[in-house]
Structure 1
Amino acid sequence: MRRTPPSPSLPRRRLLLASGGLGALLLSGCGFRLRGPQALDFATVHINTPAQTELGAQLRRQIATSGTTTVVEDPAAAEARLQILANSRGREILSLTGAGKVREYQLTQTLRFQLIDKDGRSLLPPTNLSARREYTFDDSQVLGKEQEEALLYRDMQADLVQQLMRRLAVVSRAD
């Protein structure tokens, strides 16, 4: 009777398991952690956009999750004032079919803002943030494409709010 040698897959499995464990150990030791809400350097902020708008609601929600800052309605009581100077959307044609019908659109959204302290000094000068998305258009699916466009605009606005929050997180007040 002939004996078969042990399967080479067993040492390979041990090697893979050991390297996976070593990788996890290295990641945990290097200080890696998921990005969470970032603390802002001011305790109160006033936002000049009403809370009833989609942008105003998103900003207030994101600032509330920072855990260190509250939104106040009285600008005189705020340590910082976030002024939304413009929030504009646009749509332009990217390509046409051979018959001259629209094939693709490019959507853009631009958010312009500034941050000033209670004394009127600029903490962040007027700054533009922008986002772009492209989508294909089909005349036979107009209703679905309108919904897709609305979804893309919501996605762009969420991206812009995240970018804005990252900008606010790096601002430090000079007392």
Structure 2
Amino acid sequence: MKRMLRNIALLACIGTLSACGFQLRGLVTPLSQSAPLSFTTLRVAKAGSLDAALQTALRRDGRIRFEDVQGNTDAVLNIVAEEDRKDVLGVSLAGDVNEYMLIYSVSATIQRLQDEVPLPLTVTLRRTMSYSDSVTLGKEREEALLRADMRKEAAEQLVRRLGYLPAASKAKADAGKQP
């Protein structure tokens, strides 16, 4: 009886997850892909510390052909600025730091052939990290891993946002409205 109830609960969970469109990261099927992009080739200019993560995310996407050399491409992604901050989030009664907030921001622009003005893209990620003076080396390693994960996630978000760029005619109309 317990086994049957457990199986029914498991099937209900699987059914609920599949009904909401859940899929594991990295598993892309033709039905789950976003709409086609307005460009097919992309060159990344000035990627900085995001270079490796961006190349991986672009190659994984499958809709974009990534060009790493200067040439004729349909769009150019330019990383304008990266900001890596570490703010104090919590302090103990003794005045020691308990927790930090790691903040990573990336500002980029995408220049398509049909656009007169580059379109801005911004990604900001935040992670909390507990801290203790007794395990300093371990916390330094944890911080480095969190920062690497944040860079990877920022690159993936930038690539996902490329699929939601406005159409070229709308981008030109919006650029003409701005003073």
Query: Where on the TM-score scale, by shorter chain, does this alignment land: which range?
Result: 0.7 to 0.9
Distance (Å, rounded) in 2 between the aligned partners of 1:119 and 1:142:
51
State the partner residue of 1:65. Answer: 60
Q: Is the 8 A contact 1:106 1:135 kept in 2?
A: yes
Deviates more, 1:125-134 or 1:165-174: 165-174
Moved more, 74-83 or 102-111: 74-83
Match of 2:44 in 1: 47
* Deviation of the 1:84 alpha carbon: 0.6
What corresponds to 2:93 in structure 1? Answer: 98
Conservation of the 8 A alpha-carbon contact between 1:49 and 1:84: yes
**Match of 1:46, as an amino acid?**
R
2:176 paired residue number: none
User: Taking every aligned residue pair, what percent have the same amino acid on both sides?
Assistant: 28
**Would you say the 8 A contact 2:75–2:110 is kept in 1?**
yes
Q: Which amino acid aligns with 1:81?
A: V
The alpha-carbon deviation at position 23 of structure 1 amounts to: 8.1
| Paired letter, 1:102 | V
Structure 2 length-normalised TM: 0.72
- Cα RMSD for the two superposed structures: 3.2
Letter in 2 for 1:48: A
Aligned to 2:134: 140
Q: Give deviations 1:128-165, integer Å, cap 9, x for gaps.
A: 21011111111111111100101111121122122111
1:166 lines up with 2:145 in the alignment = no
Contact 1:75 1:81 in 2 (8 A): no
Q: Which residue number in structure 2 is paired with residue 149 of structure 1?
A: 143
Q: Deviations over 1:100-129 (max 9, x none)?
A: 222111110001111111355346x22321
Structure whose alpha-carbon radius of gyration is higher: 1
- Residues 100 and 20 (structure 1 numbering): CA distance in 2 closer, same or farther, change over 3 Å? closer
CA contact (8 A) 2:121 2:158 kept: no
Q: Which runs of 5+ in 1 are unaligned?
A: 1-8
For 1:99 and 1:22, the matched residues in 2 are separated by: 49
| Counterpart-to-counterpart distance in 2, 1:46 and 1:164 | 14
Aligned residues: 161
Comparing 144-153 with 98-107, greater Cα deviation is found at 98-107
SS of 1:89 mapped into structure 2: strand
**CA 1:97 to 1:57, structure 2 compared with 1: closer, same or farther past 3 Å?**
same
Distance change (3 Å), C-alpha of 1:75 and 1:170: farther
Q: Which amino acid aligns with 2:42?
A: V
Give 5+ residue unaligned stretches, structure 2: 170-179
Secondary structure of residue in 2 paired with 1:100: coil
Return the match for 1:113 from 96, 108, 123. Answer: 108
**1:75, CA displacement in angstroms?**
4.6
